[in-house]
Amino acid sequence: MLTPLKKEFIEFMIASDVLRFGQFKTKSGRLSPYFVNTGNYRTGAQISRLGEFYAELVKETCGDNFDALFGPAYKGIPLATSVAGALARVHGIDKPFFFNRKEAKDHGEGGNLVGYQPKDGDRVVIIEDVITAGTAIRETIPVLMAAANVKVSDMFISVNRCEIGQNPGTTAVLEVKKDFGINVHALVTVADIREYLDSQPGNEEHVKAMDKYMKQYCIL
């Protein structure tokens, strides 16, 4: 269901040139009628507002019942930082955050984690941009578990593409739940984006392309 907040977020992505419509080749080789590139968030105002969208969903889902936010390198780093700031600023939920380096540092404090150092038993929330095939999360969990025996029950992303994952008949998000026990929460789904397009005049061709793509590749 396209709520006012979801509509606002979709329009925010479009205004930020993060959500585009046309024909785009994805990493999986599929020709997608839409593309989400969170690397196009470039200003302080954009990253601040983005953090507020995420923070609202984190608060609704988890309240303050978690110990830290983790942002996987690279795109997760500014996301987790912004969400931590928004949670404290808007909701009064002040939680630590941390992220990983792609390569471990061999001088100074060393290690491959920056920021909060997790402890055994910590409940960690992951902040990411999107999930396509679930590859990134399969790399992230070993990094976290190597640092401490943490519990990861929730992950937040911008868009759930609802696409078939590595195995037929299931999506990457459902695979993450099955393989790791992590509930993935998205600000919007592909169905929300399609519903938004259909509610705006002049998008008939985009809606047709979305319907064709979703029928072929998505599980709703």
Positive or negative: CA dihedral 82, 77, 153, 34: positive
54 prior amide bond cis, ω within 30 = no
* Average pLDDT, integer, range 189-204: 96
| Residue 177 pLDDT class (50, 70, 90 cuts) | very high
Backbone torsions φ then ψ of 26, nearest 5 degrees:
-85, 170
Burial label for 144, CB within 10 Å (0-12, 13-18, 19+), is buried
85, pLDDT greater than 60: yes
34, pLDDT greater than 60: yes
| Residue 220 pLDDT class (50, 70, 90 cuts) | confident
Instruction: Select which of 27, 102, 107, 215 is catalytic.
Output: 107
Instruction: Select which of 105, 178, 208, 212 is catalytic.
Output: 105
User: According to the model, what pLDDT value does residue 138 have?
Assistant: 85
Domains with residue ranges and CATH for the chain = 4-102+112-217 (3.40.50.2020)
Per-residue pLDDT tens over the stretch 141-154: 999 999 999 999 99
| Residue 116 pLDDT class (50, 70, 90 cuts) | very high
Task: Specify whether 107 is catalytic.
Answer: yes
* Average pLDDT, integer, range 83-111: 83
Residues 6+ away with beta carbon under 8 Å from 9: 53, 187, 188
Question: What is the DSSP code (8-state) at residue 182?
Answer: P
* Average pLDDT, integer, range 117-146: 89
Structure tokens at 69: 């936010």
Task: Specify whether 212 is catalytic.
Answer: no
